[in-house]
Amino acid sequence: MNTQQKVALIIGAGDAIGSAIMRKFAEIGLIACGARRQGDKLNPLIDELTRKGYQAHQFSCDARREDAVEELFRYIEAHIGEVEVVVFNVGANVPMPILQTDSRKFYKIWEMACFSGFLTGREAARYMAPRQRGCIIFSGATASVRGSAGFAAFASAKHGLRALAQSMARELGAKNIHIAHIIIDGGVDTSWVRENFPNYTERKADDGIIDPDALAKNYVTLYQQPRNAWTFELDIRPWDEKW
């Protein structure tokens, strides 16, 4: 392994936000590694980045499995480079009335949106702490700070993820590890939003939908901040979004 090579690892590298984050970190010279449950879905993005001269890799990983997360970090550190920045971007935004939320569904959403964040953050810290260097960013949502009707399971998991990030920031900041949490308060331009948001075309034309590339720039900005002016929490919304 070339220890001069620095890696940006995105857990939950989906087609919109996660892929945009990979692009932005590749553009500033980091090796972009993306992980999702079906890693081969990232192949078109990997091909795009490599054609442009960037280094990029895809991995299949279920972030709810401790052994899978441990092996992912172990492989990257041994064969690709030092994990410099980690972004936890697993979604699990599933609307569900409380009377229709059984224990299995609640637990699965918590596993995806909170427990897997713990596994990712802890494993990243295990490698970063001895080096006294690194950045871990957690993707949050409106549900991180407000529980809406029909989102009890999701909101509880996102609240938990935010609390995890707060605790890690207080513990690891003194070790020169930057922990940040991003609240995404608005619709991001994804296939789901395009199909389900009312007046999507008009809102998109009027900058009422968050562009994934514009959003991804904020992750790079957090990573590049000097440690005398670190941001812990950044909330992002379109100009016309109601608070």
**Residue 50 placed within a domain:** yes
* pLDDT at site 191: 86
Domain that holds residue 56: 6-235
**Distance in angstroms (rounded) separating the CA atoms of residues 129 and 25:** 21
**Residue 192 placed within a domain:** yes
**Residue 240 placed within a domain:** no
**Residue 73 placed within a domain:** yes
* pLDDT at site 195: 86
**Residue 42 placed within a domain:** yes
Q: Is the pLDDT of residue 3 over 60?
A: no
CA-based max dimension of the chain: 53
**Residue 241 placed within a domain:** no
Q: How many domains does the chain have?
A: 1
Q: What is the pLDDT of residues 83-108, one digit of tens each?
A: 999 999 998 888 889 999 999 999 99
**Residue 1 placed within a domain:** no
Give the CATH number for residue 71. 3.40.50.720
**Residue 243 placed within a domain:** no
**Distance in angstroms (rounded) separating the CA atoms of residues 234 and 215:** 11
| Range list of β-strands (E), 68-133 | 82-88
Sheet with strand 233-236: strands edge to edge: 56-60, 31-36, 6-11, 82-88, 134-141, 177-184, 233-236
Cross-strand partners of 8: 32, 85
Q: What is the pLDDT of residues 112-159, one digit of tens each?
A: 999 999 999 999 999 999 999 999 999 999 999 999 999 999 999 999
